[in-house]
Amino acid sequence: MIHNEDNFLLGLLLKADHHSLGWEYFLQKMVDHFNLNTCHISTIAKDSNIMKFHIKAGVRMLPKYANLFVEKYINESPVLSKALSQSSDTCYSTNISEDRFSIYESRFYKHWMKPQGIEYYAVACIFRDEQWTCFLAADRTKEQGEFTQSELDRISTLIPYIRKVYLSLINNDKSEKNTKRLKALVKSFRLPVAVFTELGELNALNEPMTRIFKDNNALCKVNETYSLDPKSPISKCLLFGVFQAIKLHKGFQLDNIHPQKYNDEIRFHYHELTHTNNEGYTLFLGIMAYAITLDYSSSLTKHQLSNIFPFTPMEADVCIALTKGYSIKEIAAIQNKSTHTVQEQVKNCLTKSQCNSQVSLINLLGSLPLDKGL
């Protein structure tokens, strides 16, 4: 039963929306209410540790430690292992544990917690299936004091409600009216495209992308619907790229931009999708991943492009490079230009072709028939 003084948190949770603003506000109130240093909700693949959903509040963790946690120390956290192996609705902490002395001798504490000033760490499992694990983690500094059993019990009572809202969001993302809009959008593209929700769920994809997924054994069937298999190498690449793109959308300054080159034949790029409703509110619909493949690259020459559109020779060169999967940064290096110059040339090409995005421009150029008479 929810403690009386925690009832307002339940109200905030039930109002959380899939844009994550509601989740972030809820977690910030958790930080304030329980006197936490940070509070996270993360969803990670069991076999590969690929993260597809992450919301946090409190003191911002340095990217170095965020990467170390996922890449290394997630498997060395004694309290996380305990939370994931036992009751889903119980919050465990480092300071209230029968093996707390060994915990403070662990590499996880010495090399991950202590360097960040974290003294006490608590974890509860929210949801898990054959592929994914979702958990809540909270921590405190030494100055903030230990977790009490009463506090852990109160957090534990919130877990079933967090799980219900989380699962509801996944289901709603697949059934709401925006899904129809996204499915219609992806069908309009000739190049391979797929759309992922902020929860990392595969929301829509077209036939060319379906073929890529099937050729690389990336699809699996869960509850009568197809989703990406996180054990597949191509899925790992895509989910990491989607997660990085979401972080960029939220304003995070990332040292390493998402990977674009999967192999010598496939390059992935990412484009955020938004929709402005009648009230002027911009809704984040998800991330579009699109693939540039060898058989998709445009065969048009810059002379032919300049005859179709009023492109300058340099703008036509940039367009051809885009259709081959090169990023703006790569084009600038190849052509010995500044990224600003290439960005301006791309902007001019968008205006002259009447396209509203780089992915639309690439799709248009790759769809143009090759007329040798041009």
Domain with 100 in it: what CATH number? 3.30.450.80
What are the tokens at 370? Answer: 């090759």
Which residues are CB-contacts of 110 (< 8 A; sequence separation ≥ 6)? none
111 burial level (CB within 10 Å; 0-12, 13-18, 19+): middle
In a domain, 301, yes or no: yes
227 shares its domain with 105 = no
362 shares its domain with 276 = no
227 shares its domain with 98 = no
In a domain, 44, yes or no: yes
Mean pLDDT of 145-166: 93
Whether residue 294 has pLDDT greater than 80 = no
Q: Which of 8-22, 152-166, 304-318 has the least mean pLDDT?
A: 8-22
Beta-ladder partners of 132: 45
The span from the CA of 324 to the CA of 326, in Å, is 6
Q: Which pLDDT value is given to residue 258?
A: 53
Whether residue 45 has pLDDT greater than 90 = no
Range of the domain at 164: 4-173
Whether residue 315 has pLDDT greater than 60 = yes
In a domain, 256, yes or no: no
118 shares its domain with 158 = yes
278 shares its domain with 313 = no
Mean pLDDT of 316-334: 90
Whether residue 175 has pLDDT greater than 60 = no
Query: Contact, 93 vs 83, CB < 8 A?
Result: no
Whether residue 144 has pLDDT greater than 90 = yes
Q: Which pLDDT value is given to residue 254?
A: 54
140 shares its domain with 24 = yes
Q: What is the CATH number of the domain that holds 286?
A: 3.30.450
Mean pLDDT of 142-148: 96
Whether residue 176 has pLDDT greater than 70 = no
Q: Which pLDDT value is given to residue 69?
A: 87
89 shares its domain with 37 = yes
In a domain, 255, yes or no: no
Q: How many structural domains comprise the chain?
A: 3
61 shares its domain with 162 = yes
The span from the CA of 229 to the CA of 219, in Å, is 5
Mean pLDDT of 257-276: 79
What are the tokens at 341? Answer: 């110059």
Largest CA distance in the chain: 80
Share of the chain above pLDDT 90, in %: 34
Q: Which pLDDT value is given to residue 295?
A: 67
Query: Contact, 92 vs 79, CB < 8 A?
Result: yes
In a domain, 259, yes or no: no
Round the average pLDDT of the chain to a whole number and report it: 84
Q: Which pLDDT value is given to residue 344?
A: 95
Residue 261: DSSP 8-state: B
Query: Contact, 295 vs 322, CB < 8 A?
Result: no
Choosing from 173, 188, 214, the residue where a domain stops is 173
Selected residue with higher pLDDT from 12 and 279:
12
279 burial level (CB within 10 Å; 0-12, 13-18, 19+): exposed
Q: Which pLDDT value is given to residue 374?
A: 45
Whether residue 139 has pLDDT greater than 60 = yes
Choosing from 138, 173, 208, the residue where a domain stops is 173
117 shares its domain with 102 = yes
Among the listed residues 207, 209, 204, the one whose alpha carbon sits nearest the alpha carbon of residue 184: 204
9 shares its domain with 141 = yes
Which residues are CB-contacts of 171 (< 8 A; sequence separation ≥ 6)? none
Q: How many CA atoms lie within 13 A of 237 on its CB side?
A: 19
In a domain, 308, yes or no: yes
341 shares its domain with 226 = no
Mean pLDDT of 69-94: 86
The span from the CA of 228 to the CA of 235, in Å, is 6
In a domain, 261, yes or no: no
In a domain, 50, yes or no: yes
36 shares its domain with 62 = yes
